Amino acid sequence: MNQTPETGKSLDPVTFEVLKNSFITTVDQMAEQMLRTCYSFVIYNRDFSNALHDAEGNSIAQGNYDIAVHVGTLHNTCKEVIRHFEGDMAPGDVYAINDPYAGGTHFSDVRLVRPIFDEDKLIGFSQSNGHWSDLGGSVPGSFDVTARDMFREGMRITPVRLFHKGRFCSDVANLIAAQTRDPASIIGDIHSQAQATHVAEREILRLVRKYGRDQVTRGMEEVQDYVERAVRKRIAELPDGTWETVDYIDRDPTGGEGMIPIRIKMTIKGDEITYDFTGSHPTIGSMYNSAPGATFSAVVAGTKTFFPDLPLNSGFYRMIKVTAPKNSVVSAEWPVAVTGFLMPFEKIMNAIFEMWSKIMPERAIACAFNLEYLLAGGRDARKPEKPIFMFYEWLPGGWGGRNGKDGADVTTACFGTGLMSQPNEGNERVNPTRTTEFQIKQDSAGPGKWRGGVGVQKTSLLLEAEGAVMSYICDRERAVVWGVEGGLPSMPHGLTLKRAGSDEPTWLGSVFSDHPVHTGDEFARPTAGGGGFGDPLERDPKKVMEDVIDDYVSVARAAVDYGVVIREIDRDLCAFEIDEAATEAKRAEIRAARTDWARSDPQEVSRRYKAGEIDALDAIRQYATILDWETGEVLPKTTEQFRESYEKRTIAHWS
Amino acid sequence: MTKTRVAVDVGGTFTDICIMDEETGAIRIEKTASTPHDPMQAIMNGIEQGRIDLPDVSMFSHGTTVATNALITRRLPRAAMVCTEGFRDVVEIRRANKEDLWDTYKDVAKPYIPRRDRLTVRERVDATGAILQSLNEDDARRVAEVLKKREVKAVAVCFMNSYVNGANERRMREILAEVLPDVPVSVSSEVMPEIFEHERFSTTMANAVCAPVVVNYVSRLGEKLADAGYKRDLLLLHSGGGVMTPASVRDFSARLAGSGIAAGAIASRFIGNLCGFPNSIGFDMGGTSTDVSLAYAGEPRITKDWYIEYGYPIRFPSIEVLTIGAGGGSLAWQDEGGSLRNGPQSAGAHPGPACYKNGNKTATNTDANVVLGRLGTSLAGGKITLDPSLAREAVHDTVAAPFGMELHEAAEAIVSVANANMANAVRLLSISRGYDPRDFALVAFGGAGALHGAAVAKELSIPTVIVPPNPGVTSALGCLLVDVQHDFSDSFMADASSVAPEDMEGAFGRMEAQAVERLTHEGVAEADMALQRSVEMMYQGQWRALSVPAPAKVESVSALVDAFHAEHEREFNFRREDAPVSIFRVAVKAVGIVPKADLPKHQVSAHTPQTVGRREVWFEGRAHDAALYQRDDLKAGATFSGPAIVEQFDSTTVVPPGMAASVDAFMNILITTKG
């Protein structure tokens, strides 16, 4: 706290601090405006960000509650707008862009960018990015997992003018809205976002009047230098070194069995960090690819997690270098489909969590559950006019166990911690669905000395509907959420469907598109808990018993996963007891055998699974084997990859 | 024997008692040390100290932190929740978001009722209110028996879609009442009949866990006051800015969770109105934080988005108060990027600022103000002496040396950063809600409000600052100036173009009948009842509604729609005349007017007051020779100009150079920020 600040700083400390805070307050005001006026329920549930930029398009401030996934991409789209309109911008203009191939995320994230002029001098930009409810394409919500290129995904908006000198270009706006399933909301969101950028213009001009143009533009540069200085200083204090890891996407639907590796080598040298993705898999035949802008964003979001207190702007990006092989799953180019970029995104974040956990053990964390996103649509036959309904929803799950602390229970996905889950009463009012269950999933947490957070299960019934189809965007059905430091994995993601009149649920897994569903069908979606941290046999048996009392953990799995034998005395009074002797014996038994279990013949595991002797949790946690969860067949290459991870992250840490 | 009114505001450090003579309107203040282990003790001490004769008290109102503290400290009795099967975790799943997006080690707290005490029964209502499954009474009795065995002290009943039909919930309560006759039960469809299960359940949960604590406290205090001769109902200030009687506390205990914080905002609004400023911003700066509130056209700004702990909304309408970590004790520091920061860390009451001589070496706002000469070194009538050399040392070591500044420059930098942070907070509550600060007066109070108020107002171009007569105890005054108030709301989801005025009239009528019933139950005479209607609307497809006032008889829905367009434009800067408008909710604010005594008005005669001395005070980089006044010497009509310092027992007022000040008939100091 007492080092001398660098010399040559041109703003006095007070003006600097005032401008820095005012920039952030301005972006928070933009957020407030959007939240109160938006139409897209995705935006309403906080899938949006705002930013201020300098005249070159660099980010100078992002909001306090902006979601992680947009970090590190907003400057790209601002710069792309500048490239298109340089010399042809006027006060009152607003432009739209959603282009992932120009550094954006995916089509759904539409950004509105407004140039800010002081008299006739361009001094900066404000940008408002919101996830629109639909952008056309083959399926409601514009998430077609089978898309291999952008042409069936939805509308790509390269920079286009939506307001010209304050006049709304309704022709262009209507053209855009007409490509979507929800044109009225799209027009509403254009107004909502345009006004948010206007709020920023007003505030920046107020600052200009008070401090003068030069001071404000200088402030825009200095806030970036400030963040850069703070991050470089912290990185310089860390030892130089290289860390490597790999995480996986489940599969390439157009390829053979086997998981899709994303390899990262991180090098810290002096005050710089390099992330090298050499060895990552080529692009795959689904929309689960990431373009370079989104990959950079994932790197920034993962890294930023270890510097939670620092403000975010382009200064943060200056010491980070990313290299990736051309046309890999993390560096896709036009026209490869990238709408599902969040799948590689979360793998990158978790891999970065793992590497930084070694560097900062006091902030260590195991793997978090994977984002899951359900999109259903059709006609709502409850009403005589049978209007189109669109039901999109994501669920929270568990985050990884931590060093000295269990993982966070039921928390929104790591790609966007600001995101909110949706109320069931809202669902039921708007869509022909009824929720029959929305509760914590027992035994979903990855066991560990510090267990992962718990996930949930939501089960819904489709009511009167016609022509309804369902798509499911998820992953880690096979690349199951992993533990670290000896902790165990949690459980596979995947949806099961029970047809009307049938008692037999069908496992549809974690990725499918355009699946027809009918009135009376019931679909259940669990989310995984977080991975465990540390050896579960070292967990305090009292903590295990508390988890049993709260039904987070079953009595049966307390014994299997933790070796803790618990007896029920009176459930009505929450009275349980630990059988100390039996626990000691059970733990000794597990300790002696578990390494062999995890290396046992996968075919034998498959046989026992099919015979009903063991379940999926046993196969994963005790036998490190990945099966086709519907048929029980072994997935040999996947199991081999999974075991490599299990050996490194789990077995190697058992004493 | 003259009648008095008594208002008590219990704070963390002091309990303030405001005593008003009903005939003359004269107010006196008693201050006594708070007794956090049992707040009642300080109240009784204060009554004794103030020689209050309880048989002569015609109104005893009370702002209490009992509910707030119980929720914050989680010292709560064991409570249970009964839920629809499959939905026991609504309050644990919440909306799944986090307060701190980036800190993976900082979690949202667990719900007030743990999972083990959330039990389920079979029942189901659908979104239209149709009962798909009646309450399974075997389940209900089984659950009631379990809760009896567990000896729970309160129960929340939270069923899906009960906002449209609460029949199953009510039946559950009947069964609970049979088995657990003495346990208070909060039923979600009555506590907060609104769509969205988490928000409704969370409010009901907070209500349930607070009930035993609050009921116990209120009945004990009521008994003590009655024993001492007080004959009326004890009035309790709630978050909405009104009071309620003990008769309502059992059912709406969580309304007291915002009790303490509302008092300052009420007082601020009252003072603003009194001085002819129906638009006013309350600026209550204390030792560790500043509370900002806003009144527009004489009415406080109300929010339903608030909570005691993040993640657990309490949806009762509440006066909107924005709290930021900037107070007299806030610490100045240099961060690793080399920036000068101020707060939110605070030296607190102990060790306090460096000049308090308790060992803190880091500069605080108070230290900076001492260095600048804005704050004197003898406070509270000489009870507290500050050490200016320690203040100088701290400012030097914390800021002047590391930034290469001269001492006074550094002190001014500290204060400027604090002022800018507070100005940003005011901006969030005003400009970002579509209000122009230039149309407002700033009411500066709290221990440090008057020290910083003029500078913050200038930063925001607010033309007038009002410093009330006793800035340090203004909140207690707020407790004195209240009416009985209850808020009712009901879902009313419809397309505005298809709503018949009679239907809306019917919905209002039902709520108003309830309102009259509750006010009558509290002893309010019909002549003193005032019912204010409002309608929440939005553009079809939007997710947040805006509230507009509705007339006592709804004759045209299109007039309401016009009012909505106008309000949308005022608040958000755009309207969509062509877009369809939806109605979301109807609400009634029921007020039982408590006749107010007038504050004493003094004869105003323009004069120049006597100074008690002069002092060197620093502003904008140089020392000024400032006039020094004693507040007690300032009579109505006194006018003076800055630079000037006004000292009084509980506060110091700074009038910067170029500003003019005057004292009005109510003994407020009005500072005009423009020279």
Q: Where along chain B do its domains lie?
A: 4-70+215-259, 76-200, 330-418, 484-592
Q: A158 pLDDT band (50/70/90 cuts)?
A: very high
d(CA B245, CA B627): 48
Tell me: ipTM over 0.90. Answer: yes
d(CA B468, CA B443): 8
Determine the pLDDT at residue A70: 85
Determine the pLDDT at residue A7: 37
Kindly give the residue spans of alpha helices, DSSP state H, lying in A127-275: 170-178, 183-211, 213-236
Pairing of strands B464-467, B441-445: parallel
Chain A interface test: which of B159, B432, B435 (most A C-beta within 10 Å): B432
Question: In b/e form, how buried is each residue of B513-522, taking b as 16+ CB within 10 angstroms?
Answer: eebeebbeeb
Pick one of 3.40.50, 2.40.30, 1.10.132, 1.10.1760 as the CATH number of B76-200.
Answer: 3.40.50
Structure tokens at B532: 């204010």
C-alpha dihedral (B545, B549, B553, B556), degrees to nearest 10: -60
Q: % helix / strand / coil in chain B, to the nearest 5?
A: 35, 30, 35
Q: A525 pLDDT band (50/70/90 cuts)?
A: very high
Among A417, A552, A572, beta carbon nearest to B101: A417
Whether the predicted pLDDT of A8 surpasses 60: no
Side by side, which strands form the sheet with B4-10? B27-33, B14-21, B4-10, B57-63, B234-237, B243-244, B484-495, B581-592, B529-539, B546-550
Q: Please say whether the beta carbons of B139 and B175 come within 8 A.
A: no
Q: Please say whether the beta carbons of A77 and A103 come within 8 A.
A: yes
Whether the predicted pLDDT of A3 surpasses 50: no
Q: Give the rounded percent of residues in chain B with a pLDDT score beyond 70.
A: 99
List CB contacts (< 8 A) between A573 and chain B. Answer: 149-150
Q: Is A474 helix (H, G, I), strand (E, B) or coil?
A: coil
Q: Is B58 on the interface with A (CB under 8 A)?
A: no
Q: Which of residues 515-544 of B touch A (CB under 8 A)?
A: 539-544
Give the architecture (CATH level 2) of B484-592: 2-Layer Sandwich (3.30)
Whether the predicted pLDDT of A497 surpasses 90: yes
Pairing of strands A48-54, A59-62: antiparallel
Whether the predicted pLDDT of A23 surpasses 50: yes
Q: Is B514 on the interface with A (CB under 8 A)?
A: no
Whether the predicted pLDDT of B350 surpasses 80: no
> Are B197 and A424 within 8 A, CB to CB?
yes
Among A28, A184, A459, beta carbon nearest to B541: A184
Lowest mean pLDDT among A394-403, A407-416, B5-14, B302-311: B5-14
Among A33, A363, A419, beta carbon nearest to B104: A363
Collect all residues with Cβ–Cβ distance below 8 Å to A631 and sequence separation of at least 6. Answer: none
Q: A1 pLDDT band (50/70/90 cuts)?
A: very low
Determine the pLDDT at residue A6: 43
Determine the pLDDT at residue A289: 97
List CB contacts (< 8 A) between B198 and chain A. Answer: 423
Provide the shortest C-alpha distance from residue B47 to chain A (in Å). Answer: 45
* Other Cβ atoms closer than 10 A to B120: 17
d(CA B280, CA B460): 13
Lowest mean pLDDT among A352-366, A391-405, B260-274: B260-274
C-alpha dihedral (B61, B65, B67, B73), degrees to nearest 10: -170
List CB contacts (< 8 A) between A64 and chain B. Answer: 101
Whether the predicted pLDDT of B598 surpasses 80: no
d(CA A251, CA A248): 8
Give the Cα-Cα-Cα angle B363, B366, B372 (nearest 5 degrees).
90
Nearest to A547 by CA among A442, A399, A403: A442
> Are B541 and A459 within 8 A, CB to CB?
no
Q: Give the rounded percent of residues in chain A with a pLDDT score beyond 70.
A: 99
Side by side, which strands form the sheet with B651-655? B613-619, B622-630, B644-648, B651-655
Chain A interface test: which of B110, B339, B417, B429 (most A C-beta within 10 Å): B339
Structure tokens at B500: 């018949």
Question: Do you know the residue count of chain A?
Answer: 655
* Other Cβ atoms closer than 10 A to A502: 12
> Are B541 and A39 within 8 A, CB to CB?
yes
Collect all residues with Cβ–Cβ distance below 8 Å to B506 and sequence separation of at least 6. Answer: none
d(CA B364, CA B341): 11
pTM: 0.92
Determine the pLDDT at residue A96: 98
Q: B376-380 contacts: CB < 8 A, separation 24 or more?
A: B376/B615, B376/B645, B376/B647, B376/B652, B379/B652, B380/B649, B380/B650
Determine the pLDDT at residue A68: 77
Q: A461 pLDDT band (50/70/90 cuts)?
A: very high
Residue with tokens 């960018």: A113
d(CA A215, CA B613): 40
Provide the shortest C-alpha distance from residue A578 to chain B (in Å). Answer: 18
Side by side, which strands form the sheet with B154-158? B118-121, B79-84, B154-158, B185-187
Q: Is B105 on the interface with A (CB under 8 A)?
A: yes
Give the Cα-Cα-Cα angle A253, A259, A263 (nearest 5 degrees).
125
Q: Is B98 on the interface with A (CB under 8 A)?
A: yes
List CB contacts (< 8 A) between A36 and chain B. Answer: 544, 571-572
> Are B150 and A428 within 8 A, CB to CB?
no
Structure tokens at B28: 């006196």
Q: Give the rounded percent of residues in chain A with a pLDDT score beyond 90.
A: 86
Higher pLDDT, B637 or B493: B637
Tally C-beta pairs within 8 A across A and B: 235
Nearest to A111 by CA among A142, A84, A80, A144: A80
> Are B413 and A36 within 8 A, CB to CB?
no
Residue with tokens 């298809």: B498
SS (H, E, C) B389-458: HHHHHHHHHHHHHHHCCCHHHHHHHHHHHHHHHHHHHHHHHCHHHCCCHHHCEEEEECCCHHHHHHHHHH
> Are B161 and A425 within 8 A, CB to CB?
yes
Question: Do you know the residue count of chain B?
Answer: 675
Region of A407 (left: φ > 0; alpha: ψ -120 to 50; beta: rest) is beta
Lowest mean pLDDT among A179-183, A618-622, B428-432: B428-432
Determine the pLDDT at residue B10: 84
d(CA A422, CA A425): 9
> Are A417 and B98 within 8 A, CB to CB?
yes
Side by side, which strands form the sheet with A160-164? A59-62, A48-54, A121-131, A109-118, A94-97, A160-164, A167-168
Determine the pLDDT at residue B1: 56
Provide the shortest C-alpha distance from residue B131 to chain A (in Å). Answer: 13
Q: Please say whether the beta carbons of B272 and B279 come within 8 A.
A: yes
Q: Is B89 on the interface with A (CB under 8 A)?
A: yes
> Which residue is closest to B102 within chain A, CA to CA?
A308
Nearest to B465 by CA among B343, B646, B328, B194: B646
**Greatest CA separation for chain B:** 82
Collect all residues with Cβ–Cβ distance below 8 Å to A41 and sequence separation of at least 6. Answer: A133, A392, A422, B543
The most confident of the ranges A584-598, B375-389, B494-508 is: A584-598
The domain made up of B4-70+215-259 has a fold known as Nucleotidyltransferase; domain 5 (3.30.420)
C-alpha dihedral (B7, B12, B13, B14), degrees to nearest 10: 0
Among B86, B115, B196, beta carbon nearest to A438: B86
> Are A411 and B431 within 8 A, CB to CB?
no
* Other Cβ atoms closer than 10 A to A387: 10
Nearest to B425 by CA among A24, A14, A201, A215: A24
* Other Cβ atoms closer than 10 A to B277: 22
Whether the predicted pLDDT of A228 surpasses 70: yes
Q: What rounded mean pLDDT belongs to chain B?
A: 92
Whether the predicted pLDDT of A401 surpasses 90: yes
Q: B418 pLDDT band (50/70/90 cuts)?
A: very high
Determine the pLDDT at residue A465: 97
Q: Please say whether the beta carbons of A494 and A512 come within 8 A.
A: no
H or E element that contains A30: helix A13-37
Among B94, B97, B572, beta carbon nearest to A417: B97
Q: Is B581 on the interface with A (CB under 8 A)?
A: no
d(CA B124, CA B136): 10
> Are B403 and A13 within 8 A, CB to CB?
yes
> Are A44 and B543 within 8 A, CB to CB?
yes
Whether the predicted pLDDT of A5 surpasses 50: no
> Are A22 and B114 within 8 A, CB to CB?
no
Whether the predicted pLDDT of A415 surpasses 60: yes
Distance of CA B672 to the CA centre of its chain: 27
Q: A153 pLDDT band (50/70/90 cuts)?
A: very high
Distance of CA B207 to the CA centre of its chain: 18
Q: Distances in Å between the alpha carbon of B114 and those of A450, B81, B89?
A: 20, 9, 9
d(CA A312, CA A468): 42
> Which residue is closest to B146 within chain A, CA to CA?
A572
d(CA A6, CA A10): 11
Q: Is B420 on the interface with A (CB under 8 A)?
A: yes
C-alpha dihedral (B299, B300, B303, B306), degrees to nearest 10: -160
List CB contacts (< 8 A) between A438 and chain B. Answer: 86-87, 89-90, 93
Q: Distances in Å between the alpha carbon of B241 and those of B258, B265, B268, B309, B364?
A: 9, 8, 12, 20, 33
